[in-house]
Amino acid sequence: AQSVTQLGSHVSVSEGALVLLRCNYSSSVPPYLFWYVQYPNQGLQLLLKYTTGATLVKGINGFEAEFKKSETSFHLTKPSAHMSDAAEYFCAVSDRAGGGNKLTFGTGTQLKVEL
């Protein structure tokens, strides 16, 4: 069974500071990994994904994440936070075998950006 742990349900950063949102996963097979962002009262939007190849993946809005197999981690980073980054972020894992039928999501991290 797969699982995702997001450390820190709330993260607060100053505008212009580094954003680091942590995600660790558990999977019995090589996973596909995803980060989604959700703005209030909206659906989830895909930020980036890791499937195969380069372990550092870049996404929209200046975010990137690095797949570290030895640490079973897929942390999300952005060098400089902007007020518009305030949202909830979800990490998710999919069983790679056959593409999988389901995504397992973490419980989310609410990012607050302060002036």
Partner 1 sequence: SQTIHQWPATLVQPVGSPLSLECTVEGTSNPNLYWYRQAAGRGLQLLFYSVGIGQISSEVPQNLSASRPQDRQFILSSKKLLLSDSGFYLCAWRGRGGTGELFFGEGSRLTVL
- Whichever of 22 and 96 has its CB closer to partner 1, that residue is 96
Minimum Å gap between C-beta 95 and partner 1 is 8
- Whichever of 80 and 107 has its CB closer to partner 1, that residue is 107
**Contact status, residue 109 vs residue 8, Cβ threshold 8 Å:** yes
Minimum Å gap between C-beta 88 and partner 1 is 10
Structure tokens at 109: 């991290």
**Contact status, residue 62 vs residue 32, Cβ threshold 8 Å:** no
Strand partners, 4: 25
User: By the criterion CB under 8 A, which residues form the site for partner 1?
Assistant: 9, 32, 34, 36, 41-46, 49, 51, 90, 94-96, 99-103, 105-108
Structure tokens at 91: 């990490």
